[in-house]
A = this chain, B = another copy of it.
């Protein structure tokens, strides 16, 4: 194809940070000019992608027996205070409301365990009520003290939180596994964002959890980005809310609770970052607000071309393909660049020559190839091309991700790996309390974060901890993060 002029043209690999800010703006995904730190406006192009993401995630949740509910956005201080590690963990991040006379102090929810459990105390009576699997799509708020980054770390974000209750610990642990599978099925397989399911070290679990399994993905600049976490809630937390049930033998028991929190705005950040290139966004076919843009050339035979365009559009819409006709008065080159930059997977061009051959030309965004397809086969072709497109995005992302993981045999290698934007995997003393000193060393001296141990594999450690030299008990992953 040769070198082409592009509208966007910021090198993603050389300067990811600039690329990211610029494409959010150029492609009209977000607007950062709202002038309140950490609060962004999500523009229609971004809102439509997020809407598609929500639909897919909510459908996956319903298929696994979850039901939607809507909980208040405000949580009374007394709920928070019931579990001390929870309030301690979240206290610095909570937005509090101006206290109203005669009322309890109210917080803007940073997460809703303490709202759900207040109700589970009333709703769960007997083993017949279990499992109870309820989720909500919600905006949550955290008063980030670190630097905020649009969609990645904001003070308001848009997520789903599922809070499930089970009769036994075994059932709850199976749910934790199901949650990881859902992240794999939806975020990885459909959205094309690879991740590692990591059991967090004890010092890094959710405030109030027995354990936490996070999903770590990576940004093009090598920084770790934490995606959906799933938590097995501690029995201490459950008891603090006095949630209990009577089992088949009329014995009073405490249920086991889990929670799972896929964040649409943050996953969107991964999707945009992972797939885009120097020409702009590349959106998965499944999520693109416009999947096919048609650009008709009216120079000759305008009437015939207009009619053919109309028919093609109707045929595609009829099969639920999101299609747009760009018949604005912009120059063709400007239209090409614009829709390329916006990440539309397929551009159909139709003019006199194409019409004569009963075909259209299709430009494919990620490979930048052009192919010709007979009009009579167009709908089927687009469907097949769309499936191949998403498969290609996924395998490209998988390759990028697996190349990022480096086995390290000594401290110097860890440093080299981290400095060359990689994830280091190495033998480590412990992910319990005893390992915290070594983790602190990694944080302070190597400016990296211990991600934890693999939750999907039983990786056996050998030899010594590369940091302290004591016996290694776990294989651990570390990476730089925002």
Contacts and interface: CB of A to CB of B under 8 A. Distances in A.
Interface of A: 31, 33-37, 39-44, 46-48, 50-51, 67-74, 76, 95-98, 100, 103-104, 106, 108, 115, 118-119, 122-123, 134, 136, 139, 141, 143, 156, 158
A44 B119 contact: no
A138 to B, nearest CB: 8
Contact of A36 (B36, B76, B156): B76
28 contacts: A34-B118, A35-B118, A36-B72, A36-B74, A36-B103, A40-B72, A41-B70, A41-B71, A42-B70, A43-B69, A44-B68, A44-B134, A47-B67, A47-B70, A48-B67, A48-B68, A50-B70, A70-B158, A72-B156, A73-B139, A73-B141, A74-B156, A95-B97, A95-B98, A96-B97, A96-B98, A98-B98, A100-B143
A320 to B, nearest CB: 13
Contact of A41 (B36, B51, B69, B141): B69
B47 A119 contact: no
Contacts of A36: 72, 74, 76, 103-104, 106
A61 to B, nearest CB: 12
Given A41-B69, A42-B71, 14 more contacts: A31-B122, A31-B123, A33-B122, A34-B115, A39-B72, A39-B74, A41-B70, A41-B71, A44-B67, A47-B70, A47-B136, A74-B141, A97-B97, A139-B139
- Chain A facing B: main interface SS: mixed
A67 B36 CA distance: 24
Contacts of A158: 70
Contacts of A122: 31, 33
Nearest to A105: B98
Contacts of A73: 73, 139, 141, 156
A73 B70 CA distance: 16
A161 to B, nearest CB: 14
Nearest to A98: B96
Nearest to A33: B122
Nearest to A72: B39
A103 B70 contact: no
B72 A41 contact: yes
A165 to B, nearest CB: 14
Nearest to A140: B73
Contacts of A143: 100
Contacts of A106: 36
Contacts of A40: 72
A339 to B, nearest CB: 17
Nearest to A143: B100
A44 B69 contact: yes
Contacts of A31: 119, 122-123
A125 B295 CA distance: 26
Nearest to A39: B72
Contacts of A98: 95-98
Contacts of A69: 41-44, 47
A327 to B, nearest CB: 15
Q: For A40, A95, A104, which residue has the most chain B Cβ atoms within 10 angstroms?
A: A95
Nearest to A50: B70
Contacts of A97: 95-98, 108
Contact of A68 (B47, B103, B119, B156): B47
A97 B108 CA distance: 9
Nearest to A75: B36
Contacts of A35: 76, 118
Contacts of A46: 70
Contacts of A68: 44, 47-48, 51
A435 to B, nearest CB: 35
